[in-house]
Homo-oligomer: A and B are copies of this chain.
Amino acid sequence: MPNLYVVLTHYPVVNKSGNIIISAVTNLDLHDISRAAKTYGVKSFYVATPLKDQKVLVKRIVRHWIDGAGAGYNPARRLALETIKVIDSIADVVEDIRQIENTDPKIVVTSAHRYPSSIGYDKFRALLQTGLPYLLVFGTAWGLAESLIGEADYVLEPVCGAADYNHLSVRTAAGIIMDRLLGI
């Protein structure tokens, strides 16, 4: 199994004007990305937000599907939502993975833009073959803040189709990227 962790972060991300914001959690991000994470054997799906009320909200949604009425209604959904860990920040994700793996993960950020240092999917697939832990970072709103992109070990190249349009939802992009990295 791959040694891949995924985080969806709500800070620091940018709004449509390019200003750094904390975005609100979207319920279907939790469902769709956890279902993809479970499908592709991702170790944990972290949901990062510094806002206490948003963390409470995410935990409440997750509990509904793990221990609440949702668990009996849809056991497959329980298995997906169980991969979610709610956490403050990407620094705390790294710390959590360090506790599990006894080493820091390499950080790979995603972006709809191409950078001179962007790596391709074949390269990242090969890196995952080493068995070393990697943390793949997805941003909400209009994407990750440049400061976060600048600090990463790698930037993954954007998902492109035949057309000159790349405005996928983060839910769809996360699914496609996991499929490109871990699909069979």
Contacts and interface: CB of A to CB of B under 8 A. Distances in A.
Contacts of A176: 175-176, 179, 183
Interface of A: 1-2, 16, 28, 31-32, 35-36, 38-41, 74, 76-77, 79-80, 159-163, 165-169, 171-176, 178-180, 182-184
Interface centre among A32, A160, A178 (most CB of B within 10 A): A32
A171 B74 CA distance: 18
A168 B182 CA distance: 14
A179 B182 contact: no
B175 A39 contact: no
A74 B169 CA distance: 13
A21 B25 CA distance: 31
Given A175-B172, A176-B176, A39 B184 contact: no
Given A161-B183, A161-B184, A176-B176, 5 more contacts: A28-B171, A35-B169, A39-B159, A175-B176, A176-B179
B16 A74 contact: yes
A169 B31 contact: yes
